[in-house]
Amino acid sequence: MPREPIAHFQIERLGILDARGEVDTELLPPLSDSQFLQLYELLQLTRLADERALSLQREGRLGTFPSSLGQEAAQVGSGFALARQDWVFPSFREIGVFLCLGYPLSTYLRYWMGDERGLLAPPELNIFPINIAVGTHLLHAAGAALGARYRKDPVVAVAYLGDGGTSKGDFHEALNMAGIYRLPLVAVCQNNQWAISVARNKQTAAATLAQKAIGYGIQGIQVDGNDVLAVYQATSEALERARGGGGPTFIECETYRMSDHTTADDARRYRDPAEVETWRDKDPLLRMQRFLERRGLWHEAEQRELEETQRRRLDAAVAEAEAMEPPQVEEMFRYTCHQLSSRQQQQLQECRDGSP
């Protein structure tokens, strides 16, 4: 018998807004001018907030911080598409998503100052706490998606991860289950080309990350991660599919980590500065600015005003975060479980007394 191919697959890449600010009008998402402006403002706010966080870290006012510089479009484009009731499962590099959803910035900063109260999401938002154990939260998203479907809630569970996360076992187990159970789940992968010092091509032999979806029998797509419109469009499509019972989608946003892995990393040790430079022209804010300019929606003077307003907003958020009372030792005990055991109560007292 001849050997014959029994299956064919293909992976699409979506781009709408290119580096020069020109759009493919056929693919342009149906957003109003005001929404385009909102997108841009969120991109700008993300950049300024990220910059401020780095600054605070250098001043000793914030702990280690992972910058999102260069990845604003991947975060804002996807965040903007989410519905209020959707459940979000972040990793640790999604400041733009938090801002999109209206998470109080002062609370967000508190987390990076080392305070768990930073993860106490407001009741109207369904944002799971920042996840440090890479990739493990995809399973939680799968569980929530299953729960939502069981309850017939019009909820999609959206999980964020990086290129490194696609190597983890839990990523595999989660997407596999998402496929079998046809879960209302969207996994947004910010492929910023680096997992600390390990380059993308050392993370997997697969040509794209998006094609990993094929193995799980689910939809996968690659988008230009610096193109906020493409990210928005791909996410919207995925959410609609999930909400309609069409199952999960894996979105690979191809972007670049312009900064170090965290403030305790020095990328100059392992990265060629020339490579970083090639991505400067692909800057997500720049192209959106050009797009808006051409539509007559953006002006230089307004830019300055926008930055000033946003900086003041940042100042207020920082002040609020720093004005918060420090946490009490009692909280260490209080949230460990629903009700303290007699031993825990005794230990709390010992902790307060400073006794052995």
Partner 1 sequence: MEFEFRLPDLGEGIAEAEIRNWLVEEGEQIAEHQPVVEVETDKALVELPAPKGGRILKHHHLEGAVVAVGDSLLTIDTENGNQERPPSYGIVGELPEAEEAAPPNKQTKTPTAPEPAGEVHALPSVRALAKELHVNLDKITGSGPERSITAEDVRAAADAAPKEPGEPKQSEEPEEPVPAAQERLPQQGIRRVIARKLLQSQQLTAFVTTMDEFDVTRLCNLKLREEPQLAERDLHLTFLPFFIKATQHALLEFPRFNARLDEQSNELIMQPDCHMGIAVDTDDGLMVPVLRDIATKSVIRLAEELQRLSEHARQRSIAREDLQGSTFTLTNFGSYGGHFATPIINYPNVAILGCGRIRERPWVVAGELAIRQILPLSLTFDHRVSDGAEASRFLSHIGRYLEDPGLLFIESV
Partner 2 sequence: MAVLNLVQAINQALQQALAADDRVLVFGEDVAADGGVFRATEGLLEQFGAERVFDTPLAESGIVGLAVGLAAYGLRPVAEIQFLGFTYSAIDQIYTHAARIRARSRGRYSCPLVVRTPYGGGIKAPELHEESSEALFCHMPGLKVVIPSTPSNAKGLLLAAIADPDPVIYLEPTRLYRLLKEEVPEEPYLTPLGQARIAQSGDQLTIIAWGSMLERTLKAAGDYPAEVIDLQTLSPFDRETVLASVRKTGRVLIVHEAPKTGGFGAELAATIAEEAIMALKAPILRVTGYDVVLPLPLLEEDNLPSAKRIAAAIEKLLRY
List of residues contacting partner 1 (CB under 8 A): 55, 58-59, 63-64, 196, 260-266
Of these partners, partner 2, partner 1, none, which one is at the site of residue 87 (CB under 5 to 8 Å by kind)?
Answer: partner 2
Report whether 284 contacts 72 (CB < 8 A): yes
Closer Cβ to partner 1, 63 or 246, answer by number: 63
Distance set, CA 92 to CA 46, 72, 95, 160 (Å): 14, 14, 8, 9
Write the CB contacts of 121 (distance below 8 Å, at least 6 apart in sequence). 103, 127, 128, 129
Catalytic residue check, 270: yes
99 to 118, contacts with partner 2 by CB under 8 A?
A: 116-117
Single out the residue of 150, 273, 300, 353 in contact with partner 2 (rule: CB under 8 A): 150
Q: How far apart are CA 81 and CA 79, in angstroms?
A: 5
Instruction: For residue 188, list its beta bridge partners.
Output: 160, 251
Closer Cβ to partner 2, 25 or 342, answer by number: 342
Of these partners, partner 1, partner 2, none, which one is at the site of residue 63 (CB under 5 to 8 Å by kind)?
Answer: partner 1
The angle, 0 to 180 degrees and rounded to 10, between the axes of the packed helices 72-81 and 284-294 is: 60
Residue 158 Cβ, how far from partner 2 at the closest point, in Å? 12
Q: Name residue, tokens 């569980």.
A: 143
Q: How far apart are CA 298 and CA 291, in angstroms?
A: 9
Catalytic residue check, 58: no
Catalytic residue, chosen from 270, 294, 334, 352, is 270
The token pair at 278 is: 């090639």
Residue 328 Cβ, how far from partner 2 at the closest point, in Å? 12
Of these partners, partner 2, partner 1, none, which one is at the site of residue 167 (CB under 5 to 8 Å by kind)?
Answer: none
Q: How far apart are CA 14 and CA 254, in angstroms?
A: 10
279: contact with partner 2 by CB under 8 A = no
Catalytic residue check, 137: no
The token pair at 138 is: 């995809």
Question: Which residues are marked as active site?
Answer: 257, 261, 270
Residues near partner 2 (CB under 8 A) are 87, 116-117, 119-121, 123, 128-129, 133, 136-148, 150-151, 157, 169-170, 173-174, 176-177, 180, 331, 335-338, 341-344
